[in-house]
Amino acid sequence: MYECNAEDVVSILGHFDGLDDPRSAINRKHLLGDLIVICVCGVLAGADGPKAIGVWAQNKSAWLHQYLSLPHGIPSHDTLGRLLALLKPAAFQSCFESWIASLCRRGAPEDLGSPLNVIAIDGKALRRSHDRKNNLGPLFLVSAWAVEQGVSLGQLATQEKSNEITAIPALIDQIDVSGAIVTIDAAGCQKEIAAKIVDQGGDYVLALKGNQGNLHAAVQDFALEQMENDFADIEVRRYEETVKGHGRIDTLIYYQFKAPQTLPGLSHWKKLRTVGIAVRISRQGDQETSEVRYFISSLGLGVKRFARSVRGHWGIENTLHWCLDVTFREDESRVRDRHAADNLAWLRRFAISLLKQVDDKESIAMRRRIAGWNDEYLAQILGLQGT
């Protein structure tokens, strides 16, 4: 039978030593660390909110008593819900930093020669978290995802999607981007954001769209002009790959060349060195669609590195957001309290990070089901060593 060392559980609790307990000291019966570990385990095992976490804990009482203090038994779902509503999301996330660091070390790629650290930053709305009674729209979360390791590095909540531009710099301040390539979609294509990434030791690959009207038009016109001439007048790097999945075949063609000196406002973009183009041709049955995306970057010429960066950013949609919607059914969550919704969203992202580290052939959805069925499997996901 698989049993965990008590020291392993203590080491997990140690990640939360610096977290201030926001609860009133009056009638405080349950230990803060116990409650947080129960929340992490419950979400891993399939729970989608305080009620479900509480029911899961009641049904796993014997297992939890082996490893947690629980001086007053299993907490109620009301106790768990109050805690999630009181915890400040930024402080809550910061306590996971050392745990996340261990995941990054555990998931570091070993077969890539020179590991490429890509951090994809993107936003997602919690569609059913709106609160019409208090005139609040859906909560919008901006997340940072370590592509190669499959780890969520942090998130920030905003009230509106339009606030994404102000949330991204604050999120960059929370995470370590030194030595990394930070990819952001068009909403984050801002001079100040590019400068912040470079100042903190990173590189950027930023998607271009109409929000950077003159620059986008100039890049598009220049690229089309060079394509018509088969890039005879400039040095260009090209790379092509084919990706198959879900009954669809994608042909991806990447071009990369030095940023032309004629680009409007070139000097205002810190370390802007190259321009990239990504062409995706998708075939599904008899249907064929195509799209072209343009990027500016601080990277030097190296089209395969550019391609992996772009593909990595698409991965935050295909890996993180798709998993949140389909496996964790995040868009169906009706938790309206802003702190509770934010903290539960973080627990889902952290749960995906843990599930991504499991070395087996099961899907994330199946791993989550097994974690709910099998205590040994859940212990392994948590990184606990058997005795």
Over residues 88-142, the pLDDT tens digits come to: 998 898 888 878 877 766 554 444 334 568 999 988 877 666 566 666 667 788 9
Given a cut of 90, whether residue 272 has pLDDT beyond it is yes
Q: Which residues pair with 192 in a beta bridge?
A: none
- With a pLDDT cut of 90, the percent of the chain lying above it is 53
Q: pTM for the whole thing?
A: 0.85
pLDDT in the model for residue 110: 43
Domain at 108-326: CATH architecture: Alpha-Beta Complex (3.90)
The per-residue pLDDT for range 304-318, each reduced to its tens digit, is 999 999 988 887 777
Q: How far is CA 240 from CA 204, 281, 306, in A?
A: 22, 11, 12
Q: Are β-strands 181-184 and 203-208 bridged in parallel, bridged antiparallel, or unpaired?
A: parallel
Residue type, 350: F
pLDDT in the model for residue 171: 93
d(CA 44, CA 38): 10
Q: Which residues pair with 255 in a beta bridge?
A: 238, 277
The per-residue pLDDT for range 21-65, each reduced to its tens digit, is 999 888 899 999 999 999 999 999 999 999 999 999 999 999 999
DSSP state of 336: -
d(CA 353, CA 173): 21
Q: Which of 8-22, 224-238, 265-279, 281-295 has the lowest mean pLDDT?
A: 8-22
For the chain, domain boundaries: 6-98+357-381, 108-326
Contact 55, 77 (CB under 8 A): yes
d(CA 71, CA 33): 12
Strand ranges, E, within the chain = 118-126, 139-146, 151-158, 181-184, 203-208, 236-245, 248-258, 274-284, 287-297
d(CA 324, CA 344): 12
